[in-house]
Structures are given as structure tokens and as C-alpha cells.
A and B are shown apart, each in its own frame.
Chain A
Amino acid sequence: MPEADKELVSIRRFLKERLQRDYTTLRGYAEERSNVRLLLQRTAEMGESNSLLLIGPRGSGKTTLINAVLADVLLNKSFGENTLVVHLDGNLHTDDRVALKSITVQMQLENAADGKVFGSFAENLAFLLQCLKAGGKHSKSVVFILEEFDLFCAHHNQTLLYNLFDVSQSAQAPICVLGVTCRLDVIELLEKRVKSRFSHRQVFLFPSSQRFEEYVELCKDLLSLPTGNSLLLAAERFSNLQKIQSEALYCSRNHFDPGEYGFSPRVRETWNKQVGKVLATQQARSTLQALYDFDISEAYLKNFLFRLVAHLRPQSPHITAEKMAAVGSQFEGDDKIELLCGLSVLELCLIIAIKHHSEIYDRDPFNFEIIYARFSKFAKVSTTMQAVERSIVLKAFEHLRIAELIMPLSGGAGGGVGKVQKEFEMHKLALTYGQIQNCVQRYQALPTEVAQWAQSSLI
């Protein structure tokens, strides 16, 4: 492989890994970050008990913020040696029983041996509470991180939440309860006594790339290669994280390691210049503007950039505005129209018949018989559809149904199936007229008869 190709492969790998596996780098949110950090530090050093809720829309960097703060504070020894971190996830720990076993294991209590917890649910709860009660200012601080906090609110009686918050408000072992959720109204889900024990600190994370210029800047930042110095700094930080080797920061095992990469200044400069030039063009900016109008979260942009970077080949080694536009148009497309264009002409005829029926009767539900009658009226006078048998049409109708282009009225499969024969079951159309119109225009080699019939229901 020539030298230039090797360089490109290395750049592509670097960009991809940074997009996917850099769990601890957070951009922006200076105030929120220092807020959480100070809170964790006070828990560890002073032995204060606290609770906090981190709230923000999906993809706004809530987990990254916690990872970044943990990576920060775990580096100083006084935190690492005096604190236990317990991670819980509402999706994994679906009830208090499972969550409690996980807490017992992660806190290495005496009734846990090598990941196996002895005793019943009630015994585990009693033992955990006794342990926390026996502790005081001299015992280690425990940081509980509850991701998908709103799902913990759905547990029976909210026993776990009550007990965690209760410990944080009484003279026991110092703990910090850190809830992470995307629901803005999560406090309303708490029971009143749990709500009273919660300290009402809420940190809101709203993506700060409010203005488009910042978004372009972020995009540039994610695409350009860093200087050797900052690479070294990042690599050093990463190797420190590796040294901690603690369960507290579980993401450090398969983390992005910038130390593996080195770019010569010439390569870096040409690459960054190219990126800067592309992002200054009108075409690239309008692509980004379309993305930005739809979704301002960083996750969406990263998704876009990963698709873009994956297209870097030795034959076309540069990121260009055309490539960005191509990927952007992939993002904007309507998948249902693609699905419609893959239908056979018979199925499309049925869809058109359904559309006529819906237009005439103002979206009234329909069944196979109605649509078949409407279709045969057309088929009789058409020259291409005369020989189609009823069973074939029924098969086509069923095809539409399992593709969920038409949906049964009852919603569930058990609703009317038992009682009503399949030719008579009522359905509704899951498409807008605009989508059907679009499909008729884009369909390859559509017979003229069908195209004309699509225009008007009169035959």
C-alpha cells in the first residue's frame, strides 16, 4: 500500500474512533460540569450527603458529563480511595430486587461473594440499610448513579428511591444520589415523601449549540486533526485513566486511545485546510443547516459524520461538499416512498384504489371487498389487468397489510381476526396522499393506464 493510502486509512480510523468511542470528552457545559464536580468532591472530602438530578433531552451529553467528571475526580487519590461508585441503570435493573443485588455486589458487602448475593430480597434490603446506618463520617462515601431515573420511579412503592434519599438525609454513611433522566417532569413521578427527601437540585442540560455558527464550529472540530501537543495531552490523560482500572469508570476499558496515532504536520495541515475550505462552501453549509433544523443534538451530527467519514476511500481521499450533500440527502429521504416504489403494479393499483376510496369517503375505513370492487371496475376497462384472479389480489392485499401500509382498525392482531373473515376486516390507510402521489411520480416503468387512473377516480 502506498504511503498516502496508509495515511488516509489512519486518518479514517482516528476520526471513526473519536466519533464512536471518546466517552469522556465533553464540549461546553462549563457551569453544569463544575456544579456536578463540586458536589461529588464535597461528598468525597467533607462527607456530605447530597442528591441531584441531571435532566436533559436525549443525546445532550448527560452520560458524557458524568463520565468526564468521574474521569476528572478519580485521578486525584483522595477521591478514588475514599469513594465507592455504584452504577445502576433503569433499563437493566428492572426492579428493586435486581437493583439491590447489584448494589450489594458493587459495594462488596459481606453477604456478597464473587458476584453472588446470599439471602432474600428482604434480607438484602435490611442488610444494606444496616450497613449504611452503621457507617458515619469515617466510612467511605458512596456515589449512586441512577441512569434512566424515571424507570426507577415505576418500581413498587419506590422503596429503593425512598431508602437512598432517606439515607442521604439522615446521619448515616455519606452518599450521593445522582439521577440521570431525559424527562423534564420527573419530579412529579416521585411520591410525596420521596419528593420531600429529595434535595431538589436539578441540573438541566440543554444543548448549547443554539446558534448555527457554533454547530458548524462543532462539526469542524469533530472532523479536523488535533495538533501533536494536544494529542500527547489526551494520550496522557487516557493512560492515567487506564491506571485507575477501577470499576467506577467502566467505560475506560475500551476507550478511544489517542496515543496510538501520530500525524505529520504536513498531513495535518493539508487535511485541516481542506476541511476548513469545505465547511466554508455554501453547499456544505446548507447540508448542515438542514441537519441543524431537524435535530440540534450532537448525536445526530456524529451519526452523519460517521457515514461521511466511512466514505473516505484512497480513490477519493478528500471530504467534499458533494459528498456531504449526498449523505445529507440520504438522511432527508422518505423511507416509506422507497417501500412503495418496491411494490408490484398490482399492489400499487390497490393502494390507488384505497386512496380513491379514502378521498371520496373522507378516510373512512375499508375492507378487501370494497377495494376489490373498486379495483375490478378499473381492471375490466384496462388492457393490462383483466386476467388477474381474485386470490392473487387477496394475496397482494395481505402483502400490503404485513408491510403495515394498511393497518387493521383494532390495532392488535387479536382484535377482529377471530370473528371477522379476512376479506371483511376493516382497515385504515397508514399513508398520506402526498406520499402516494410522490410514489406514482417516482415509480419506474408505471403503465400509463395506472398513472392516468391515479389522477382521477373516474374511469
Chain B
Amino acid sequence: SRLAEGTPRRSIHLSNIVEQRVFKDNEIISTPKRGRPKKIVRDEDEDYSPKKSVQKTPTRTRRSSTTTKAATTPSKGITTATTTPMTPSQKMKKIRAGELSPSMQQRTDLPVKDSSKSELQLAREQLHVSVVPKSLPCREREFENIYAFLEGKIQDQCGGCMYVSGVPGTGKTATVTGVIRTLQKLATQNELPAFEYLEINGMRLTEPRQAYVQIYKQLTGKTVSWEQAHALLEKRFTTPAPRRVTTVLLVDELDILCNRRQDVVYNLLDWPTKSAAKLVVVTIANTMDLPERLLMGKVTSRLGLTRLTFQPYSHKQLQEIVTARLGGSEAFKGEAVQLVARKVAAVSGDARRALDICRRATEIADMAAVKCVTMLHVQQALAEMIASAKVQAIRNCSRMEQIFLQAVAAEVTRTGVEETTFMGVYQQVETIAAFMGVTFPPPGRALRLCSKLGAERLIISEHSRNDLFQKILLNVSADDIHYALRVAEMVN
């Protein structure tokens, strides 16, 4: 905001200096390394493709391009780069300039064709979480809401904020990106003013300030330090420029961007208030009361009250989602889908969970060599994925470990407190072992049992440095121990 107070002329001047300095920095970094032996013997055409259209803000295109061209020496142009292999540091320079597109290694053989897949396989592919449908079922109202907000802001050419919340897996990001995709389509058909779309994700940043770098990178393709990126963004959003296009910024995982100073969140939410910016910010997070709980007053005030909450899916909605994914396929029995929907809706209402369980059920049906997923397969998948393996773990302990667990439970009953010490447990162990007619290993080896059970987290124990005085907590319930050891005996 400080830059805005100066005359526009001055700030332009300043930015030119910054840019030139950036370029010179890179030169200085790369020159001494050029003498290194060229280690990379890879075909240049494959991994290097000059970026054709660097996205730039309309205001900066002309100015910055002149400065860059003036500073570039012709010998280092693209023509030489294609003929000789680059050293890694030259390559890194290209990456920072956004001229080298990141690429993955390609497969040697082609992926399997759709026509050769069975119906179960097709269903499994359709059920994968990554296959986002064009229109999300059961989120029509939220779609309308966000669409109306964004369209209004774009039409009015003003800025604003919105806060979207909801537990994970309720379709927040999918709905917002869906709205933006629709708007972008309208913009290409000239039914809506053109706008730019930027997105950042808090969890994909190593620290909150990298948000500036990522936003600037999506504008120009260049990677600069966050201080420079901050200054450049500040200049862009605070100086009025004719023919500035509206920018829509999606901020996912907002809570990660909050640090103690909250300067990043403040900046992101403060820019829309500037008349020059034409910035619309959509923020997404999990908790509904995040603005009140975590953010400072001035930030909450800027975030505004345009809020939207995504409720967890009910079992009917989950069922509709899964059947929509399946399309007209006969791979699933109707009641099987219903069972998944009811079980998941009762726990979390997470769509990812339901889809994953359905996918696992198709795998089980595949192994059973049938073509249709029935209730039994779904039940098996549910048992696997909503797993509680503690009883099984206790049953698979060795005899001494089982005695040790019983002793911990007995000591808890004796003392009445949850926390026991090793010494008390060992006394109980000796009693139980004498009762059962076995000899128990000495305390040193009992410590080994203790740390073994602690590694599995059946009990919580301290470091065995404190020997007889370490504190032991039971991490499973005493009933589980009883059930695992007694009921198993009775069945046998």
C-alpha cells in the first residue's frame, strides 16, 4: 500500500530497476558455473520446449519485454540452447524463467485401451476420486450460490471476498473449480467479460509467504523471491491501470496461510478492497468459524460475511453420487450402493470415502471372479476399510505379551488410576504368571516386551531408560483385552 501513495511514474521506474536487478542476479549466478563440464547428455528436444505464450498482465507486457530484450545477449538465445546441451545451472535458470516446462518421463508402451476393459474395470475407473464429473450431483444450490457471486463480481468489475467452509470431502474445491470452468467457457464465448484465474493451495506451500511467489508465477511464469513477488504484486494491484482484467483468486486451505503475524492473509484480503485491483478472492477452509477463531479483527472484517457452508453428504446424496458415477452400468447392486452410502454417511459424509469403498468392493468382486458387486463384497470392503485391528493384534501377541497386557489391566483395576508404573505391573505379572503356572522372564526382558507392545501402540510407554519407574498407559480398552483373550479361548 505504500507504493500506491507514490506517483505511478515513480513506481514504474522502481519496478524496472527491480527487474533489471533480477536479471543481473541470474547472470552473476550462472557465469562462473558455465566453465563446468557438461554432465547432461540428454536429447535437448525432449525436455526443453520454449514456452510459447507466457501469460502476462496487459499492463506489463510492453514495458517489461523491452527491458528484457535489451539485456539479453544474442549469443545466449534459443538457437544456441537447442544445439548445445545446457549445464544444470543454465537449466535451472530456464526453469526459474518459466521457459522450460516441467515434464514427466513417458511410458514405453501405450496404456490399455478402453475397449478391452471389462465392465467391472470400467466401473472402477469411473469410481476413482480423480474422475470429477462435469456437473456435481447434489451440489446444485451451492453451485448457484458461488456462480451468482462470481458472475456478479465479474460483471460489476469490482472486487470482493467469499469464504467457503465444510468438512473434507464435501465437494468444495470441485464445485468452485466447476463454477470457474463454466465462467471461463462463457468468457470465451464473449458472453462475459474476460477474467484471469489464479489458484493457490496453502498445503502446497512450504511457508505462507510463498503464496506471493506462486501467484506471481501464475501471472508471468517467472520464479522470483517472495520479497520481489510481493512488491510486484503490490504494484499490480494498487496502481490503477486502464484495461485491467478482473482476476479471480482461489485460496485453498486458508488456515495454513495464517501465521502469527497474519500479514499474508491480510494482504490477500486487503487487495480486493483497493479500487484498482479488480480482484475477487474465494477462500476455502474446513472449519466454519475460522475467521472468528484464528484471524485478527481487521482480517475478519475484510473477509466479509459472504459465506457458504458445505454440509456433509447425507446417505441419499451419497447414493446419488455413486449411482451417477456408475452411469447406466449394471456392475453394482442397488442395495450394495445403499449400504455403502448409509455406512459412510453415518461416520463422516465424505464422498471420497464412499467412492474408495466402492472401488475396493469392485476389486473384491474381481478376485471372486464375478461380474456384479453384491452386498457380501461391500460388507467385506467395509470391514477392511473401517478397520479396527486391535483385537486381532492382541490375539496375535505372544503368550508373555498377553500376560503383560492382562497385568497392566489388572494394575489399572487395582490402583484405580489409568497410569501405572512398570514396577507395579511387574508385580501383577508375577502374580498372574504364578497363577497360570508359567515362569515369567526377568525384568530386563519384560522391558523388552513392554517396548515391543509400545511400538505397536497397544500400550503407551516411556523410554526404557527409566527402567522400573517408567509409566505405562493402556492404549486399548481393558474390555478389548478381555474379549480377545477370553472369547477366543471359549470359541476354541
Interchain CB contact under 8 A, A169 and B204: no
Interchain CB contact under 8 A, A336 and B456: no
Interface string of A301-317 (1 = CB under 8 A from B): 00000000000000000
The smallest C-beta distance from A255 to any residue of chain B, in angstroms, reads 27
Interchain CB contact under 8 A, A182 and B456: yes
28 residue pairs of the A-B complex, CB under 8 angstroms, read A49-B128, A57-B396, A58-B452, A58-B455, A78-B109, A109-B102, A125-B206, A126-B204, A126-B217, A132-B104, A138-B107, A157-B203, A163-B204, A182-B455, A183-B455, A184-B389, A184-B393, A193-B168, A196-B350, A200-B385, A200-B386, A201-B356, A207-B396, A293-B398, A294-B445, A294-B449, A295-B398, A332-B445
Contacts of B106 in A (CB 8 A): 138-140
Contacts of B131 in A (CB 8 A): 171
Q: Which one of B47, B210, B438 has the greatest number of beta carbons of chain A within 10 Å? A: B210
Interface size class of B (residues with CB under 8 A): 35 or more
Residue A296 at the B interface, CB < 8 A? yes
- Stretch of A267-275, A321-329, A384-392, A428-436 at the chain-chain interface: A428-436
Residue A45 at the B interface, CB < 8 A? yes
Residue B483 at the A interface, CB < 8 A? no
Contact pick for B398, options A125, A157, A294, CB 8 Å = A294
What separation, in Å, do the CA atoms of A115 and B244 have in the docked complex? 45
Interface string of B357-368 (1 = CB under 8 A from A): 101100100010
Known: A81-B109, A157-B203. A55 touches B92 (CB 8 A): no
Residue B121 at the A interface, CB < 8 A? yes
What separation, in Å, do the CA atoms of A22 and B350 have in the docked complex? 43
Residue A245 at the B interface, CB < 8 A? no
Contacts of A130 in B (CB 8 A): 102
Interchain CB contact under 8 A, B387 and A202: yes
Interchain CB contact under 8 A, A334 and B204: no
Query: What 5 pairs across the A-B complex have the smallest Cβ distances?
Result: A196-B168, A334-B442, A135-B104, A113-B88, A139-B104
What separation, in Å, do the CA atoms of A321 and B395 have in the docked complex? 30
Residue A366 at the B interface, CB < 8 A? no
What separation, in Å, do the CA atoms of A230 and B399 have in the docked complex? 35
Contacts of B426 in A (CB 8 A): 432
Interface string of B158-182 (1 = CB under 8 A from A): 0000000001110000000000000
Known: A111-B95, A169-B130, A292-B398. A162 touches B457 (CB 8 A): no
Residue A213 at the B interface, CB < 8 A? no
The smallest C-beta distance from A100 to any residue of chain B, in angstroms, reads 9
What separation, in Å, do the CA atoms of A334 and B47 have in the docked complex? 63
The smallest C-beta distance from B136 to any residue of chain A, in angstroms, reads 15
A residues touching B (Cβ–Cβ < 8 Å)?
38, 45-49, 55, 57-58, 78, 81-82, 84, 96, 107-111, 113-114, 116, 118-119, 121-123, 125-127, 129-132, 134-135, 137-140, 157, 159, 162-163, 166, 169-173, 182-185, 192-193, 195-197, 199-202, 204, 206-207, 210, 292-296, 332-337, 404, 407, 411, 428, 430-432, 435
Q: Which one of A57, A182, A334 has the greatest number of beta carbons of chain B within 10 Å? A: A57
The smallest C-beta distance from A334 to any residue of chain B, in angstroms, reads 4
The smallest C-beta distance from B109 to any residue of chain A, in angstroms, reads 6
The smallest C-beta distance from B193 to any residue of chain A, in angstroms, reads 28
What separation, in Å, do the CA atoms of A31 and B111 have in the docked complex? 27
Contact pick for A197, options B105, B206, B286, B352, CB 8 Å = B352
The smallest C-beta distance from A190 to any residue of chain B, in angstroms, reads 11
Known: A57-B452, A193-B286. A81 touches B108 (CB 8 A): yes
- Stretch of B234-242, B313-321, B467-475 at the chain-chain interface: B467-475
* Closest A residue, CB atoms, query B100: A110
What separation, in Å, do the CA atoms of A159 and B204 have in the docked complex? 7
What separation, in Å, do the CA atoms of A373 and B473 have in the docked complex? 38
The smallest C-beta distance from B381 to any residue of chain A, in angstroms, reads 10
Residue B274 at the A interface, CB < 8 A? no
Contact pick for A140, options B47, B105, B397, B398, CB 8 Å = B105
Contacts of A210 in B (CB 8 A): 396
Contact pick for A192, options B168, B389, B438, B442, CB 8 Å = B168
Residue B334 at the A interface, CB < 8 A? no
Known: A336-B442, A432-B426. A199 touches B356 (CB 8 A): yes
Known: A49-B128, A407-B467. A121 touches B206 (CB 8 A): yes
Contacts of A335 in B (CB 8 A): 444
Interchain CB contact under 8 A, A293 and B399: yes
Contacts of A96 in B (CB 8 A): 206
Contact pick for A49, options B89, B130, B207, B357, CB 8 Å = B130
The smallest C-beta distance from B341 to any residue of chain A, in angstroms, reads 16
Interchain CB contact under 8 A, A192 and B396: no
What separation, in Å, do the CA atoms of A199 and B128 have in the docked complex? 10
Residue B384 at the A interface, CB < 8 A? yes
Given A127-B102, A135-B104, 8 extra CB contacts under 8 A: A48-B124, A110-B47, A110-B95, A113-B40, A159-B203, A201-B385, A202-B384, A293-B438
Contact pick for B223, options A84, A123, A183, A295, CB 8 Å = A123
Residue B101 at the A interface, CB < 8 A? yes
The smallest C-beta distance from A355 to any residue of chain B, in angstroms, reads 14
Contacts of B206 in A (CB 8 A): 96, 121-122, 125, 159
The smallest C-beta distance from B82 to any residue of chain A, in angstroms, reads 16
The smallest C-beta distance from B464 to any residue of chain A, in angstroms, reads 11
Contacts of A118 in B (CB 8 A): 88-89, 91-92
Contacts of B385 in A (CB 8 A): 200-202
Contact pick for A38, options B105, B286, B363, CB 8 Å = B363
Residue B205 at the A interface, CB < 8 A? yes
Contacts of A110 in B (CB 8 A): 47, 91, 95, 100, 102-103
What separation, in Å, do the CA atoms of A118 and B363 have in the docked complex? 42
Known: A162-B203, A432-B468. A119 touches B396 (CB 8 A): no
The smallest C-beta distance from A73 to any residue of chain B, in angstroms, reads 15
Interchain CB contact under 8 A, A119 and B457: no
The smallest C-beta distance from A426 to any residue of chain B, in angstroms, reads 13
Interchain CB contact under 8 A, A45 and B286: no
Contacts of A116 in B (CB 8 A): 88
Contact pick for B389, options A55, A81, A172, A430, CB 8 Å = A55
Residue B214 at the A interface, CB < 8 A? yes
* Closest B residue, CB atoms, query A438: B442
Residue B270 at the A interface, CB < 8 A? no
Interchain CB contact under 8 A, B452 and A129: no
Residue B371 at the A interface, CB < 8 A? no
What separation, in Å, do the CA atoms of A40 and B393 have in the docked complex? 26
Contacts of A411 in B (CB 8 A): 466
What separation, in Å, do the CA atoms of A137 and B106 have in the docked complex? 9
User: Which of B56-111 touch A at CB < 8 Å?
Assistant: 88-89, 91-92, 95-96, 100-111
* Closest B residue, CB atoms, query A199: B356
Contact pick for B111, options A46, A121, A404, CB 8 Å = A46
* Closest A residue, CB atoms, query B226: A122
The smallest C-beta distance from A152 to any residue of chain B, in angstroms, reads 14
What separation, in Å, do the CA atoms of A413 and B390 have in the docked complex? 38
What separation, in Å, do the CA atoms of A122 and B210 have in the docked complex? 7
Interchain CB contact under 8 A, A108 and B352: no
The smallest C-beta distance from A122 to any residue of chain B, in angstroms, reads 4
User: Which of B132-154 touch A at CB < 8 Å?
Assistant: 132
Contacts of B398 in A (CB 8 A): 292-296
Contacts of A337 in B (CB 8 A): 442
* Closest B residue, CB atoms, query A432: B443
* Closest B residue, CB atoms, query A112: B88
What separation, in Å, do the CA atoms of A294 and B398 have in the docked complex? 6
Contacts of B393 in A (CB 8 A): 57, 184, 204, 206
* Closest B residue, CB atoms, query A116: B88
Contact pick for B444, options A111, A292, A334, CB 8 Å = A334
